[in-house]
DNA sequence: TTGAAAGCGCTAACAA
DNA sequence: TTGTTAGCGCTTTCAA
């Protein structure tokens, strides 16, 4: 009836009636029931956001990007966390899709066939984010982690380092870290080189973890001249360790991380790193959903490949 | 009809029919429509989570706690971000309540009368988190920031420091930071002391910011013997700055922060700090919602006051 | 154990 | 410009 029209400011309603309705609504403390509205209109202003973890600094930043864009729209993010487990992803996705959201933003490209089928059949915009090395269901926004690994390897080689060690997490399901390492070793291969040593860890990253790993790898292989960390936080810990040991950085030993964590600016030296464009990824993904939710032409299949920028900092510039 | 019974495994259904329905559902790739279900049953498995920011490390940790508890239930968090703006909070709350969620978890106790009214009238469990110094609408889980400020002041005084400077953000709407400062100065007052200097900043915190502020306050008031930071990240930056300047910590100058950021473990010295129990707060809040969502007895009004623990670290132990 | 029927509170289409 | 009506896809109640 008219009330509905007023509250959605749609259609033609006289100013007088409008006022009367608004007054009554306020007076009664009326809050519309979106469930009924959504059922009737089959429009839901929710966007499903599915990510592997909240412990890793990276994902809050992506969400930040998403939510900053969605704030200017009618849309609202709903969060699902998978803990890097494909079965959990399936479950979360099923739950979320049963709300018939306006779109799905989901991290990564690797998932079970069941999850992929759900996404395909959902009939709503799907944006897979963070990674572009693989087959997307619909749209995709991210960086190429393989390329990021290759770029870093090239920069290291170009600086004249030869005995390179890798320090990363052993999570087999973190496909992006795996791809970076692949790209990295590919580039070493191409230059006729290979990794001199590797060190893996479990659990969360941090300065402490970086210190331990660095100590371990340097004791095992003292002649390394470069350490490539899968993660800035660990890299920074390693850097602090080496500085204390009086190791000459970047002359004797160079180092680099990944992710360009802003809060690290202000450490004694700036760690070489590569920006993973997290905020931009979130923003671009949200923008795709927002646009497609407005106009209901079924475009789809957008591809946004962002270019990570390399920061040499103070720890990668030997020659 | 029967299908509905099978899919919710309710009521008595023969095994044979059950099988038949399940098979058909799988075959058709059927995903139930929760909107219709929610409308019919007036039960919604969503929990509204309203926080001021995602940039501050603290909130992802709270969400982590919430989501870890909700994972074992039917419930799912929906996120709303207010950017510390009361009007934005009102808007977000209105949006969320119109989905008739199973509960609301919302940061802080200070809010507009309109927001408070919405929460009161919503008829669902409301848990206000992080802070306990004030009047709650329903349940509350958090720490006393006033008390935290007092405790820290006492520890500093007991260690023999006398010329104390405070370094904090100038956000007038961060009530918790304000309360900590109040508690802090109250305790100084009680000891016949007062702050020797203060330095405020805007924007995000980080090592760089901590360095700048520390330099500024020490140049203005060189005889300070203690720096109290509203935030560990800034404190750590200040510590790095002082270490480089060759200042003797904690002899010549003591320092302390707030929040106990884990990833900082591994810095050259451990900053004195106080745990804000973020994860526990998230968990406890989610547990309250989960319990009340199950049993629909309207208990309510729970109060969970957690005790922050003081870590002296290496920067607060003069005598 | 199963089926039938009446809503849940809105929106959308149409009529007045 | 306003009122009326028929669903949206489930759950719930009641009858078979």
In chain B (319 residues long), the average pLDDT of successive 10-residue segments reads 73 81 83 92 93 90 94 89 92 92 97 94 95 97 98 97 95 91 97 97 91 97 97 96 96 96 92 97 97 75 96 89
Nucleic strand D within 7 A of Cβ A40: yes
- Please tell me which residue of chain B has the smallest CA distance to A101: B35
In the block, residue with structure tokens 């404190």:
B235
Q: Give the Cα separation of B79 and A48 in Å (integer).
A: 11
Longest dimension (CA), chain B: 84
Please answer yes or no on whether A99 and B233 come within 8 Å at the CB atom.
Answer: no
Please answer yes or no on whether B205 and A32 come within 8 Å at the CB atom.
Answer: no
Nucleic strand D within 7 A of Cβ A29: no
With b for 16 or more beta-carbon neighbours within 10 A and e for fewer, the B145-177 pattern comes to bbbbbbbbbbbbbebebeebbbbbbebeebbbb
Please answer yes or no on whether B35 and A38 come within 8 Å at the CB atom.
Answer: yes
Residue B316: strand, helix, or coil: coil
Q: What is the pLDDT of residue A139?
A: 97
B240 vs A36, A46, A266: nearest CB: A266
- The whole-chain average pLDDT of chain A stands at 92
Residues whose CB is less than 8 angstroms from the CB of residue A89 and which lie 6 or more positions away in sequence, other chains included: A50, A82, A106, A111, A112, A115
In the block, residue with structure tokens 């990570």:
A308
Q: What is the pLDDT of residue A297?
A: 58
The shortest C-alpha distance from A304 to chain B (Å) reads 24
Residue A120: strand, helix, or coil: helix
Q: What is the CA radius of gyration of chain B?
A: 24
Per-residue pLDDT, averaged over A24-44, amounts to 88
User: Does pLDDT of A156 surpass 70?
Assistant: yes
Nucleic strand D within 7 A of Cβ B7: yes
| Chain B neighbors of A46, CB-CB under 8 A | 78
Token pair for B302? 């729970």
Per-residue pLDDT, averaged over A251-267, amounts to 94
With b for 16 or more beta-carbon neighbours within 10 A and e for fewer, the A70-87 pattern comes to bbebebbbbbbbbbbeee
Chain D nucleotides covered by protein, CB below 7 Å? 1-12
Q: Which of A75-79, A222-226, B268-272, B286-290 has the lowest mean pLDDT?
A: A75-79
Q: Give the Cα separation of B120 and B66 in Å (integer).
A: 22
Q: Give the Cα separation of A158 and A319 in Å (integer).
A: 9
User: Does pLDDT of A319 surpass 70?
Assistant: no
Confidence of residue A20 (pLDDT cuts 50, 70, 90): confident
* Residue A63 to residues A12, A56, A282, B172, Cα–Cα distance (Å): 38, 12, 6, 25
Cross-strand bridge partners of residue A199: A167
A165-197, pLDDT tens digit by residue? 999 988 788 999 999 999 999 999 999 999 999
Q: What is the pLDDT of residue B1?
A: 64
User: Does pLDDT of A217 surpass 80?
Assistant: yes
The shortest C-alpha distance from B109 to chain A (Å) reads 21
User: Does pLDDT of A277 surpass 90?
Assistant: yes
User: Does pLDDT of A13 surpass 90?
Assistant: no
Q: What is the pLDDT of residue A1?
A: 63
- Selection from A33-47, A142-156, B11-25, B82-96 with the highest mean pLDDT: A142-156
User: Does pLDDT of A137 surpass 90?
Assistant: yes
């Amino acid at each position: 009836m008219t009330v509905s029209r007023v509250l959605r400011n749609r259609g033609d309603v006289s100013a007088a009636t409008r006022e009367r309705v608004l007054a009554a609504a306020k007076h009664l403390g009326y809050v519309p029931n979106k469930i009924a509205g959504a059922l009737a209109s089959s429009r839901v202003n929710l966007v499903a956001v599915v990510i592997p973890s909240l412990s890793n600094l990276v994902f809050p930043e992506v969400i930040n990007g998403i939510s900053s864009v969605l704030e200017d729209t009618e849309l609202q993010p709903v969060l699902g966390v998978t803990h890097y487990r494909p079965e959990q992803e399936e479950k979360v996705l099923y739950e979320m899709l049963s709300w018939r959201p306006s779109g799905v933003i989901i991290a990564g490209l690797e998932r079970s066939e069941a999850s992929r089928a759900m996404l395909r059949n959902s009939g709503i915009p799907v944006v897979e984010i963070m990674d572009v090395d693989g087959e997307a269901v619909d749209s995709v926004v991210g960086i190429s982690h393989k390329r990021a690994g290759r770029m870093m390897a090239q920069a290291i080689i170009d600086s004249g380092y030869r005995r390179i060690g890798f320090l990363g997490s052993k999570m087999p399901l973190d496909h992006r870290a795996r791809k970076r390492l692949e790209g990295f070793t590919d580039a070493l291969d191409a230059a006729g080189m290979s990794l001199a040593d590797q060190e893996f860890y479990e659990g969360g990253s941090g300065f402490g973890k970086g210190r331990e790993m660095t100590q371990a790898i340097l004791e095992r292989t003292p002649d390394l001249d470069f350490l490539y960390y899968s993660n800035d936080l660990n890299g920074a810990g390693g850097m602090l360790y080496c500085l204390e040991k009086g190791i000459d950085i970047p002359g004797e030993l160079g180092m680099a991380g990944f992710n360009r964590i802003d809060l690290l600016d202000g450490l004694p030296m700036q760690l070489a790193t590569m920006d993973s464009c997290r905020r931009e990824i979130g923003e671009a993904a949200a923008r795709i959903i927002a646009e497609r939710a407005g106009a209901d032409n079924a475009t789809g299949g957008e591809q946004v490949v962002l270019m990570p920028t390399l920061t040499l900092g103070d720890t990668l510039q030997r020659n």
